[in-house]
Amino acid sequence: MILTGPQIASAVERGDIVIRPFRKRQITPNSYDFRLGDRCCVYTNRVLDPAKNNPTRRFQIPSDGILLKPNRLYLFNTEESMGSTHYVPIIRGRSSTGRLGLFIDITADLIDLGFANQLTLQLHC
């Protein structure tokens, strides 16, 4: 089962879903359009290793944007804090950005029940 846009809006009103800030115009027929935050993080080591700490460089994206390059991972926050203790959120890219070759997550699209915060997006193109 999946919630419709109006059901998402009433769940936000009831407090069963957290979306902050919440803007009604971002509701779609069966999802909610979230926005890209402005904080980015990239790895500085050539080889990444899950057994070690991987140093990163952090920066803010300027208002005129940044250019993403292939074979490079960019971690971003979402502008919204999102989550729910009632429903399991699942994130999706937008078809418009998919058509431009942008991945926003890497196999990890299902959010744990009870998480409610800004999400970390794994951008690459």
Partner 1 sequence: MDPFDPRNLNPNSYNFHLGESLLVRVDEKWSRTRIDDTGFILKPGQVYLAATLERIGSDRFVTLLLGRSSLGRLGLFLNITADLGHIGSCSHWTLELTVVQTLRIYPRMPIGQISFWRTAETDAKHYRGRYHRDDAPKPNRDARIVSPSR
Residues near partner 1 (CB under 8 A) are 43, 46-51, 54, 71-73, 75, 88, 105-110, 112-114, 120, 122, 124
Q: How far is the CB of 78 from partner 1 (least distance, A)?
A: 13
* Alpha-carbon gap, residue 74 to 58, rounded angstroms: 10
Residue whose CB is less far from partner 1, 23 or 98: 98
Q: How far is the CB of 99 from partner 1 (least distance, A)?
A: 16
> Which whole-number Å values give the CA distances from 57 to 43, 44, 54, 75, in the listed order?
6, 7, 10, 10
CB 33 within 8 A of CB 94: yes
Q: How far is the CB of 63 from partner 1 (least distance, A)?
A: 26
* Alpha-carbon gap, residue 96 to 16, rounded angstroms: 29
Residue whose CB is less far from partner 1, 15 or 114: 114
